[in-house]
A and B are shown apart, each in its own frame.
Chain A
């Protein structure tokens, strides 16, 4: 490739396409490279929500809220629809003890200024009549959104393709090239060489392999999740619904419940889709680089879903799929320049929040590459947390 780009973005999932879009918006020329197709990895093997109710109070929810604000702007900005709907989400408690923990969580979120409300049993049943009768209540968050992740990726790409963005799919990066001063000057791929002074690593679960080219320590690993798809159905679930235990399994392990579901780290979440089916999760397991779904986990998810929505018992499941979340032990992504290698940036490690945080991540990366001060404090997401660790230290 003889053309010289301002930036090469590696990985065309939600994060990579958002970075590419926002970089072009800043006036830069961008080559977006992916070893497979746009949205072919985790961004098409996931659910379809951008939530506040799965975030921790503090920076976590602040970034999530900023991204939802950006989603609403993007809905106007992008020509192609990505089915954004701000329908809110419901979190269901299974026990009185969870109601007490939920009330503390809601109070913390309200103190941060977010619209969260506790619901008693009857208020909850008004929102979701098919929930099991014995559930004591839950809480509601109005800002949560649903969207189509892969339509989002295509919408980002289609908006700027040919207007500053060139897309190279089925192109595998084989090395990152440095000049004699140790700064980035391009990448090699199985389709030829690309030249640019900046490279952004948006390779999700594969971002550790990209960092390996530079000998950089980046401990990301796949934490896999399975989703079950129902056949088309009359409306039986009206918004994103998750059990309170979902929050617990996201941030810690050892949540005590049904022994089978505990064994497979499964908690219930469910949402209606544009295709008139419901998709049901979910699980979090370290089973390596694979999209093959374990039948035991599938069965545990089905059992857990019936516990909350008994109506599912006689409904059909048509398929199950597994996606890989880019997990980092700190539960925080890296959105950062890398001081050790001038011109190298990382936007990866979002675990299950890659879709939800894609807009704000792309915006922040475009600011960093342009040499501007980021529009919010992102010191928590700095690569410097790995300074002194790993082979490059």
Chain B
């Protein structure tokens, strides 16, 4: 990835996190996707990192010179897409 993103570009739309905020998190010690998430909320919104994860990984590679297998991934969380509490809580085998 040769292109360098501008600091004010939005990385995570759901939580409104910019490239600059991700870079600041990395400066303060974040080394992988989960570290960045914890410090910025990138990946914690409605889409759960589907859009921003690849961008966060790219910024980590750029800033820290990490290889592709060292930037990490978001932890998979149930449910995989939004589902109502009623659906979750109903019709369970007891």
Q: How far is the CA of A317 from the CA of B90 in the complex (A)?
A: 14
Q: Which residues of A are found within 8 Å of B61, using beta-carbon distances?
A: none
Contact (Cβ within 8 A) B46 A318: yes
Nearest chain B residue, comparing its CB with the CB of A315: B85
Nearest chain A residue, comparing its CB with the CB of B86: A313
Q: Which residues of B are found within 8 Å of A315, using beta-carbon distances?
A: 84-85
Q: How far is the CA of A150 from the CA of B35 in the complex (A)?
A: 11
Q: How far is the CA of A344 from the CA of B77 in the complex (A)?
A: 38
Contact (Cβ within 8 A) B90 A295: no
The answer to the question of A130 belonging to the interface, with a C-beta cut-off of 8 Å to chain B, is: no
Contact (Cβ within 8 A) A317 B82: yes
Q: Which residues of A are found within 8 Å of B34, using beta-carbon distances?
A: 37, 40
List residues 46-60 of chain B with CB under 8 A from any CB of chain A: 46, 48
Q: Which residues of B are found within 8 Å of A302, using beta-carbon distances?
A: 85-86, 88-89
Contact (Cβ within 8 A) A316 B83: yes
What's the nearest-Cβ distance from chain A to residue B71, in Å?
Answer: 14
Pick the contact of A317: B35, B39, B88 (CB < 8 A): B88
Contact (Cβ within 8 A) A303 B78: no
Q: How far is the CA of A274 from the CA of B89 in the complex (A)?
A: 25
Pick the contact of A306: B79, B83, B85, B92 (CB < 8 A): B85
Interface flags, B1-24, vs A, CB<8A=1, else 0: 000000000000001000000000
Q: Which residues of B are found within 8 Å of A312, using beta-carbon distances?
A: 85-86
Q: Which residues of A are found within 8 Å of B15, using beta-carbon distances?
A: 275
Contact (Cβ within 8 A) B84 A316: yes
What's the nearest-Cβ distance from chain B to residue A292, in Å?
Answer: 9
Q: How far is the CA of A309 from the CA of B77 in the complex (A)?
A: 24
Contact (Cβ within 8 A) A313 B84: yes
The answer to the question of A30 belonging to the interface, with a C-beta cut-off of 8 Å to chain B, is: no
List residues 281-307 of chain A with CB under 8 A from any CB of chain B: 291, 293, 295-296, 298-300, 302-306
List residues 317-346 of chain A with CB under 8 A from any CB of chain B: 317-321
Contact (Cβ within 8 A) A319 B78: yes
- Report how many A-B pairs have Cβ atoms within 8 Å: 94
A37-B48 contact, Cβ under 8 Å, with A298-B78, A317-B79: no
Contact (Cβ within 8 A) A319 B77: yes
Contact (Cβ within 8 A) A231 B46: yes
Contact (Cβ within 8 A) B84 A37: no
What's the nearest-Cβ distance from chain B to residue A214, in Å?
Answer: 29
Q: How far is the CA of A37 from the CA of B25 in the complex (A)?
A: 12
Interface flags, A219-257, vs B, CB<8A=1, else 0: 000000000101110000000000000000000000000
The answer to the question of A259 belonging to the interface, with a C-beta cut-off of 8 Å to chain B, is: yes
Contact (Cβ within 8 A) A296 B92: yes
Q: Which residues of A are found within 8 Å of B75, using beta-carbon distances?
A: 291, 321
Q: Which residues of B are found within 8 Å of A300, using beta-carbon distances?
A: 89, 92
The answer to the question of A38 belonging to the interface, with a C-beta cut-off of 8 Å to chain B, is: yes
Pick the contact of A314: B35, B39, B86 (CB < 8 A): B86
Interface flags, B66-94, vs A, CB<8A=1, else 0: 00000000010111001111101110101
- Nearest first, the 6 A-B pairs at minimum CB distance are A303-B89, A302-B89, A313-B86, A302-B88, A316-B82, A319-B77
Pairs across A and B, CB under 8 Å, 15 listed: A37-B30, A37-B35, A44-B38, A228-B85, A232-B46, A260-B92, A296-B92, A298-B79, A305-B85, A306-B85, A306-B86, A313-B84, A314-B85, A316-B82, A318-B82
Give 17 A-B pairs besides A169-B31, A315-B85 with Cβ atoms closer than 8 angstroms. Answer: A39-B38, A154-B39, A231-B46, A232-B46, A260-B94, A275-B44, A302-B89, A303-B92, A305-B89, A314-B84, A316-B85, A317-B79, A317-B83, A318-B79, A319-B48, A319-B78, A319-B79
Q: Which residues of B contact A (CB under 8 A)?
A: 15, 29-31, 34-35, 38-39, 41, 44-46, 48, 75, 77-79, 82-86, 88-90, 92, 94
